[in-house]
Amino acid sequence: MADVFTTEQRSAVMRRVKGANTKPEMKVRRFLHARGFRYRLHGADLPGKPDIVLPKYGVVVFVHGCFWHGHPGCPRSALPATRRDYWETKIGRNRQRDARNARALRKAGWRVLTVWECRIRDERTLEALARKIAA
**Domain segments of the chain: what residues?**
19-134
Sign of CA dihedral 119, 62, 132, 37: negative
Spatial neighbors of 129 by CB under 8 A, at least 6 apart, are 28, 31, 32, 61, 113, 115
Written as tens digits, the pLDDT of the chain (135 aa) is 566 778 788 677 767 666 677 899 999 999 999 999 999 999 899 999 999 999 999 999 999 999 999 999 999 989 888 889 999 999 999 999 999 999 999 999 999 999 999 999 999 999 999 999 998
At 9 the pLDDT is 81
Could you tell me the fold of the domain covering 19-134? Endonuclease; Chain A (3.40.960)
pLDDT at 103: 98
pLDDT of residue 80: 86
| Burial class of residue 95, CB neighbours in 10 A (0-12, 13-18, 19+) | middle
